[in-house]
Amino acid sequence: MRIVVDMQGCQTNTSRNRGIGRYSLALAQGMARNAGDHEIWLALNGELKDAIEPIQAAFDGLIPRERMRVFDVSNRVAGLRVPRRWRRPLNEHRREAFLRQLKPDFVHISSPFEGQDAVLSIERSQPRAGHAVTLYDLIPLQYPDIHLKARASRDLYMRRLEAAKRADVLLAISEASRQDALAALDMSPERIVNISSAVDPSFRPVRLSEDEEAKVRARYGILRPFVMYTGGLDPRKNIEGLIAAYARLPLLLREKHQLLIVCAVGETRRAELDALARAQGLKPNEVIFSGFVDHDELIQLYNLCALFVFPSLHEGFGLPVLEAMACGAPTIGSNNSSIPEVIDFEPALFDARDVNSIKDKIEHALKDAEFSRDISARGLKRSAFFSWDRSAVVALAAMETLRAA
């Protein structure tokens, strides 16, 4: 088969440097490595210029440059600016015509819910190429009061959702996401396949020199063994629950540790969380907000933390959990959605909606050295189950099956 992969999930400002961008790139690279007799082509949006060369460079040695094609979309026709209400359908037709010229057997859309700067559609006409769409989650649909309050956001999301439902197969990143889709989208089970996820091989146990450890601790004000979280700060991530749980730990335990929250945080949100920590009786140096942390330092922090905690209320997969486990960090997390699939060890799970349940599990892990070593060893072993090659092979097999049918 000739499979054309739409790479806009690696190009937009919304996703390029986040989990979706990393997932889209790694899965496409895995497909290229495991293509066999298939031809993998890339489709890139010409308006998102900054990301084109880095993506092409990432596939050197995997895909010939002549198979990395750029499609033209524009805000202008014959030199005149096109009104927004006409621009979207016009550019969708341009992209569809571009794809038809490549004569694909299958088109893979790496991220179906990108914002206005992406051009995404699935033709209604038949015959057409088969379409596969990566399904990360349906969280906006499940929490519309948070994510779809603005009419423009709601309209765009629902339009993209209707297009995704026209795909021949949805490639879910977890069994939990697959089950969410089966419940919400009225699609037959064989059209939704769990391909799982993985993390970059750079997430691994490393031994830091004394100088390296001192530098990273000094940079973030880490004075004691620390409990770590990384991820977003939207309500679903349950940071408020984590801070409240940490504040309920015995005083002597808190005096020996710090809570490190690793994420980019704006001034308003930072002030809100600082006020919450103070209201819970926590001193200023008991909770640290790191701000943005680059890739290498993130790996260092995973390797240094005494415990990694992930208290999210709902996840499509929960990549930080797998990253921490792959680095050998003792890892505990919520007992909901996809997180139990990743951790796969019930004693390491807690009820994220119960502050005392979170507190009790943190306390157990910090006090019981044998339990901490056990979940670290189990997590490291479990992390080896996930690989991009495995996910890519399952994705290709799903397309082969649908193509044969």
My answer on whether 105 and 228 are in the same domain is no
Asked whether the beta carbons of 28 and 109 are under 8 A apart, the reply is no
Distance CA 214, CA 280 (A): 30
Asked whether the beta carbons of 249 and 309 are under 8 A apart, the reply is no
pLDDT at 83: 65
Task: Answer whether residue 203 is part of any domain.
Answer: no
Residue located via tokens 């629902």: 158
Secondary structure (DSSP) of 92-140: HHHHHHHHHHH--SEEEES-TT--TTS------SSS--EEEEEE---HH
pLDDT in tens, the chain (405 residues): 999 999 999 999 888 888 899 999 999 999 999 999 999 999 999 999 999 999 999 999 999 999 999 999 876 555 556 666 667 888 899 999 999 999 999 999 999 999 888 999 998 877 889 999 999 999 999 999 988 999 989 999 999 999 999 999 999 999 999 999 999 999 999 999 999 999 999 999 999 999 999 999 999 999 999 999 999 888 999 999 999 999 999 999 999 999 999 998 888 888 999 999 999 999 989 999 999 899 999 999 999 999 999 999 999 999 999 999 999 999 999 999 999 999 999 999 999 999 999 999 999 999 999 999 999 999 999 999 999 999 999 999 999 998 888
Amino acid identity at 202: S
SS3 of 72, please?
Answer: coil
My answer on whether 240 and 119 are in the same domain is no
My answer on whether 351 and 376 are in the same domain is yes
**Rg (Cα) of the chain, in Å, rounded?**
22
Q: How many CA atoms lie within 13 A of 204 on its CB side?
A: 5
Q: What is the DSSP letter of 294?
A: -
What's the CATH code of the domain at 282?
A: 3.40.50.2000
My answer on whether 348 and 296 are in the same domain is yes
Model pLDDT for residues 37-76, shown as the tens digit of each residue: 999 999 999 999 999 999 999 999 999 999 999 999 876 5
Model pLDDT for residues 302-360, shown as the tens digit of each residue: 999 999 999 999 999 999 999 999 999 999 999 999 999 999 999 999 999 999 999 99
My answer on whether 179 and 276 are in the same domain is no
Task: Answer whether residue 204 is part of any domain.
Answer: no
My answer on whether 176 and 217 are in the same domain is no
Cα torsion 232, 234, 240, 246 to 10°: value is -10
My answer on whether 137 and 264 are in the same domain is no
Q: What is the DSSP letter of 192?
A: E
My answer on whether 230 and 183 are in the same domain is no
Task: Answer whether residue 205 is part of any domain.
Answer: no
Q: Which residues contact 366 (CB under 8 A, 6 or more apart)?
A: 227, 249, 253, 257, 306, 307, 372
Q: Judge residue 144's burial from the number of C-beta atoms within 10 Å of its C-beta, 0-12 exposed, 13-18 middle, 19 or more buried.
A: middle
Q: Which residues contact 278 (CB under 8 A, 6 or more apart)?
A: none
How many structural domains compose the chain? 2
Domain that holds residue 129: 2-198+387-404
Task: Answer whether residue 354 is part of any domain.
Answer: yes
Task: Answer whether residue 326 is part of any domain.
Answer: yes
My answer on whether 191 and 243 are in the same domain is no
Task: Answer whether residue 332 is part of any domain.
Answer: yes
What are the CA-CA distances from residue 302 to residues 203, 204, 253, 381 (Å)?
Answer: 9, 9, 20, 16
My answer on whether 367 and 346 are in the same domain is yes
My answer on whether 230 and 379 are in the same domain is yes
Which two tokens mark 110?
């790496």
My answer on whether 41 and 62 are in the same domain is yes
